Structure 1
Amino acid sequence: MGFDEEFDALRRGLLAHCYRMLGSHHDAEDVVQEVYLRARKGLAAFEGRSSVKTWLYRIATNASLTALNHGSRRVIPSGLGAPSDDPDTHDVEQLTTPWLEPLPDAALARAGVSDPVHVVLEQESVRLAFVAALQHLAPRQRAVLLLHEVSAWKVQEIAEALEISVPAVKSLLQRARSRLEEVRPAPADPPASAEVERELLDRWIRAFETTDIAAIEKLVHDDFAIEATGHRTWFRGIAVCLPFVERQLLQSPGELRLRATRANGQPAAASYRRDASGHYRATHLVVLTVVGDRIARSTNFPGADHVVAAGLPAVLPG
């Protein structure tokens, strides 16, 4: 197998790894391309003392660390402060901070195929809650944790890849685990089945397209949360979320169209709004977190680019 074939076989895993590190699908794509160019250039000097996979992940990790040196951590609103208790607020503060981005499942599929067992593990490690929690770790803590816990590297391998001592790796790993426990939501019910997720997503889409707030109420947990990147304000609890959805998000019947997709290994929907010409233009991607048999969270990512990255059109005919 030639280098290009080996790289293509590993591209999907590299993309997922860089996304976990960076919290940005677009930045991860750029780093994976950089990894390819650097590896291609350094191929003659590769001595084969490790596998090509280990070598490429080493390059990817260090390239991600370099990228993180030039930017702030990516966040979602719930990581910035307490929720609002006013569903009628118009003080939805906009921020220019770097925001966490979704990773469409279609983007991973374009990057390559994977065996079913690996796909399950991959999806668990790119779920929004986990990736959002990772952003609270210092870059080297993040790198050490991911290489050890997700990629199953030995401490010695990590030390060699990052050019630090074994005790330093152990210290970083301990601090990373401790910090992750502080910021990561506690495990709730077991993950929902694919069938349950599909049914909930279909019902969510119908409810929004028909502006049926009663149907939405039946789909969500009592402590349901809703947030959108770009704004500090977010909401939790149906007493606040449902009035907010009804008064500020729902449109007249026929104004919205939604299309089912998946992102971060979770059910998702692309949202379209009808314009003056009668066409429907993509506005944002909604990623749903399902716990048990209901929806626990809706995380909205404004921007048609997220919809297109999910393999869906930017415009639907009227």
Structure 2
Amino acid sequence: MRDPVLDRDSFPSLAEPHRRALKLHCYRMLGSAHEAEDAVQETFARAWHALDGFEGRASLKNWLYRIATNACLDALSRRARQERVLPGQLGPSTSELPPGEPDLDFPWLQPFPDIEVGELADESPGPETRYETRESIRLAFVAAVQQLPPRQRAALILADVIGWPVSEVAALLGGTVASINSVLQRARGTMRSQYGIAPGSHRPPPDEWQRRLVDRYVRAWESADLDGFVGLLKEDASYAMPPWRHWYRGREDIGRFFAEVWRLYGGFRLLPVGANLQPAFGLYALSPREPIWRAHSLQVLSLGADGIDGLTMFMKPLGPTLFDEFGLAPILHA
């Protein structure tokens, strides 16, 4: 079925339904929801100016994906660092409290709001896909993709996530089918080492047991039950807190860190939001000096079959800047 006739009058109504899919694509490429939104705006602007050249040989959706991919590659070429990272990718874990100040100038990977995903997570994968849509939105997956050079990144996302034939990827990125297959082979090798989940592996949505686990997690935080919180972690769980470079591995070190930190606050409240199709919360902290709950951090949980695999907390001052796009207020009054 051909797309309706595309002209300047019809373009806004025909292009707008693709906005969410394009933003998610740009997020995978760029690692930032803010930058992804900018890239989508750039995509629509470029498409508007190029309308006279659209001949309908490709679908409107694929044409927009081509433009968005090029917009992202251009954005990456202007960066000093082309990848965004999480602390665990920068060095070994520690057992010490972090000294000094957080690294605010570093390009940290950012979470993606579930409200921006909508029904995309339920799309049927194309015949060329190697990763399910749900899997390809996870924070750890996007962090691994960020380790790829831009050309490999684009090729892997287009072929293995969106499901484009290699011939179409080659037409977009330039080169032969054989050369793009070589690019994909290198990208897939990096993903195996960085991510560790085999393409095609099925990670089911959270089940009832995991939902109860998340409920217990919230109760532990809001009642300052440190033993209860630590008991929900898997033995080898990880905890990271960008924009700090420090991160922790294992119940003992994580528990020791929070034992020092929790005593500095008068209490916590967690509001559920959802990020990267994982359980997530906006954390508000109560100062012992005033009865105001202030935005503290945005938490993203990774759940295993028998406990919490990992906790990433986007801390102050980075975390509160993310609250607005997750629909959270900066202050809750007691």
TM superposition score normalised by structure 1:
0.91
Give, in angstroms, the shift of residue 192 of structure 1.
Answer: 5.5
Q: Is the aligned partner of 1:84 residue 2:94?
A: yes
Which of 261, 266, 269 matches 2:281? 269
Which of 90, 93, 97 matches 2:106? 97
Which of 176, 200, 210 matches 2:213? 200
Which of 148, 152, 155 matches 2:163? 152
Give, in angstroms, the shift of residue 217 of structure 1.
Answer: 2.2
Write the distance in 1 (CA, Å) between the matches of 2:161 and 2:303: 23
Aligned to 2:30: 22
Q: Which structure 2 segments of 5+ residues have no match?
A: 5-9, 126-130
Give every structure 1 segment of 4 or more consecutive aligned residues whose post-TM-superposition deviation is greater than 6 Å: none
Which of 145, 162, 166 matches 1:134? 145
Write the distance in 2 (CA, Å) between the matches of 1:117 and 1:235: 36
Q: Is the aligned partner of 1:243 residue 2:256?
A: yes
Write the distance in 1 (CA, Å) between the matches of 2:225 and 2:177: 57
Question: 1:297 and 1:115, CA in 2 relative to 1: closer, same or farther beyond 3 A?
Answer: closer
Give, in angstroms, the shift of residue 85 of structure 1.
Answer: 2.7
Contact map agreement 1:200 1:219 (CA 8 A) in 2: yes
Q: Secondary structure at the match of 1:266?
A: coil
Give, in angstroms, the shift of residue 191 of structure 1.
Answer: 4.2
Tell me the amino acid that sits aligned with residue 307 of structure 1.
F
Tell me the amino acid that sits aligned with residue 145 of structure 1.
L
Which of 61, 65, 71 matches 2:69? 61
Which of 304, 320, 326 matches 1:304? 320
Contact map agreement 1:255 1:273 (CA 8 A) in 2: yes
TM superposition score normalised by structure 2:
0.87
Which of 108, 116, 119 matches 1:107? 116
Aligned to 1:40: 48
The structure with higher relative contact order (CA 8 Å, sep 6+) is: 1
Write the distance in 2 (CA, Å) between the matches of 1:45 and 1:185: 42
Give, in angstroms, the shift of residue 189 of structure 1.
Answer: 9.6
**More displaced 10-residue stretch of structure 1: 115-124 or 200-209:** 115-124
**More displaced 10-residue stretch of structure 1: 20-29 or 154-163:** 154-163
Percent identity over paired residues: 39
Count how many residue pairs are aligned between Structure 1 and Structure 2. Answer: 312
Q: Secondary structure at the match of 2:252?
A: helix
Aligned to 1:291: 304
Give, in angstroms, the shift of residue 19 of structure 1.
Answer: 0.5
Q: Secondary structure at the match of 2:117?
A: helix
Give, in angstroms, the shift of residue 138 of structure 1.
Answer: 0.5
1:148-187 correspondence to structure 2 within 5 Å: 148-186=159-197
Question: 1:66 and 1:283, CA in 2 relative to 1: closer, same or farther beyond 3 A?
Answer: same
